[in-house]
Amino acid sequence: MRFGTDGWRAVIGEDFTVANVARVAQATADWLVQEGRAGDGVVVGYDTRFQSRRFAEEAASVLAANGLRVLLCSAPAPTPAVTWAIRQHGLGGGVMITASHNPPEYNGFKLKAHYAGAALPEMTAQVERLVAHNRDAGREPRRLDPHDLPRRVEPFDPVPGYLAQLERYVDLEAVGRAGLRVVVDFMHGAGRGCLDRVLEQAGVEVVPVRAEQRPDFGGTPPEPIPRNLRPARAAVVLHGAAAGLCLDGDADRVAAVDEEGGVVDAHRVFALLLQHLHEDRGLDGTVVKTFAGSRMIQRLALAYGLPYVETPVGFKHVCRRALQETVLIGGEESGGIGVRDHMPERDGILCNLLLLEMMVQRGRSLAGLVEDLMDRVGRHHFDRADLRLDPGRVDALMQRLREAPPDAFAGFPVTHVDPLDGVKLILGDHGWILFRASGTEPVVRIYAEADEPAKVRRLMAEGVACARGTAGDQGVADAAPE
């Protein structure tokens, strides 16, 4: 049981079982005791996946049996709402049962620390060591008698406190006065009852899409990337909406659809929010981008004279920087974005609201905002492919690229090789291509960015051929980004 880019994830019924959840929960309780946080209590939340409630009850039972005060969510809830409860109630940490955007056969165990953000790698490494120690010592998890669960575990609703924070952070009065109609695509996840509720209370007309909470997510991984957003795009055009606001399965990631039905991907959302926070709100701070993100972010940060930091993939690295200094905004290629004066955590619901606030304050449509952005930073085009590999073959690919990187790739000269997280080939002003192993699924991810769509297609075709030539027989997967 290893914590990857964002928590421990595994296939339900294989490695992700009630027994293994109990083992990780016991190690979490032991870790909280060691850290002196056990007396502060914990919150346990869960998403809409198969058996998530049952897994959450098991985690709550183990934590309570170890003497911790446990707040157990009464219904599926967004990860940002559960994490905000840690800050609101001064808790020692939290557990979120979710595999986020992964396909429906997965579930996961996200660990949140006392600062209301992802547990840092050294924290999850300690939990892993405690799992192994307990196993080697023959120490079984403590559990409550099932009849004691209602008495020892407190039912909890994190949504009201979280909505109050959103109302403090966003100018919802201005958003409401604009008379907008918006589509909200929940992707059958846990965001229903938060984003729609705060918008409707502000006077915004909401058209819900994929709002039913379904464990199978309707057959589409709950990941807000272009190929998965056709229902939102169609609904925006059909209803004449000003925008489509899209969430992943646990509502900590963001994407959008403009009024013409075009997808505004996570890279552009990140850049727009950076513009809004700095130009419209007058805020400063460090800009943090993970390794697979767009060059647009660096160009904006340099134009504003703001400190800029690039980290390995995984929001936990953004979180670390936010604990060390004032981070204005930090985000990932996959749509996880966090902002200043909130919490060191990604929040898809808040980011969607800030997009609407930006539209209203600037008096521009979403497509207009994107066009203004392109005029400012130049044209940027991006793609990603996920290839499932036979076990161990990814190592051969990565080793070859590290030890003998090419002098040219897809006809473009390689001007620099960056090994921060995987292997990124920098192709001068043309763009870049990145190869890296996933931290959440058995795939190798290939990312590319260039100033023209045709260049991106060339890079991706060459990248997939390169990976297949090394890795053998495998397919392009609908795997999800971390």
Question: Going residue by residue through the chain (482 aa), what tens digit of pLDDT does each one get?
Answer: 888 878 999 999 999 999 999 999 999 999 999 999 999 999 999 999 999 999 999 999 999 999 999 999 999 999 999 999 999 999 999 999 999 999 999 999 999 999 999 999 999 999 999 999 999 999 999 999 999 999 999 999 999 999 999 999 999 999 999 999 999 999 999 999 999 999 999 999 999 999 999 999 999 999 999 999 999 999 999 999 999 999 999 999 999 999 999 999 999 999 999 999 999 999 999 999 999 999 999 999 999 999 999 999 999 999 999 999 999 999 999 999 999 999 999 999 999 999 999 999 999 999 999 999 999 999 999 999 999 877 677 888 899 999 999 999 999 999 999 999 999 999 999 999 999 988 766 789 999 999 999 999 999 999 999 998 854 434 444 333 34
Catalytic site residue 100? yes
Which residues have CB under 8 Å from 469's CB, separation 6+?
none
Strands annotated E in 30-131: 42-46, 70-73, 93-97, 106-113, 117-118
The residue length of the chain stands at 482
Give the domain-ending residue among 344, 377, 410.
Answer: 377
403 and 346 assigned to the same domain: no
Cα gap 96→9, rounded to integer Å: 12
CATH number of the domain enclosing 425: 3.30.310.50
Quick check: 181 and 207 in contact, CB under 8 A?
A: yes
116 and 167 assigned to the same domain: no
Can you tell me whether residue 359 is helix, strand or coil? helix
The answer to whether residue 2 is domain-embedded is: no
Which residues have CB under 8 Å from 286's CB, separation 6+?
306, 307, 308, 309, 321, 325, 326, 327, 328
Q: Is the dihedral of CA 206, 210, 215, 220 positive or negative?
A: negative
Cβ burial 22-53 (10 Å sphere, 16+ → b, else e): bbbbbbbbbbbbeeebbebbbbbbbbbbbbbb
Give the domain-ending residue among 105, 132, 157.
Answer: 157
Identify residue 246 by its one-letter amino acid code: C
Q: At what angle do helices 295-304 and 366-377 cross, to 10 degrees?
A: 70
Bridge partners of residue 247, in order along the sequence: 254
292 and 144 assigned to the same domain: no
The answer to whether residue 53 is domain-embedded is: yes
* Domains held by the chain: number: 3
CATH number of the domain enclosing 35: 3.40.120.10
Choosing from 52, 61, 74, 100, the catalytic residue is 100
The answer to whether residue 186 is domain-embedded is: yes
Helix (H) or strand (E) holding 310: strand 308-311
346 and 307 assigned to the same domain: yes
Cα gap 171→105, rounded to integer Å: 39
137 and 45 assigned to the same domain: yes
The structure tokens listed for 205 are 């007309």
Provide the domain limits for residue 385. Answer: 381-477
At residue 288, what are phi and psi to the nearest 5 degrees? -120, 125
149 and 186 assigned to the same domain: no
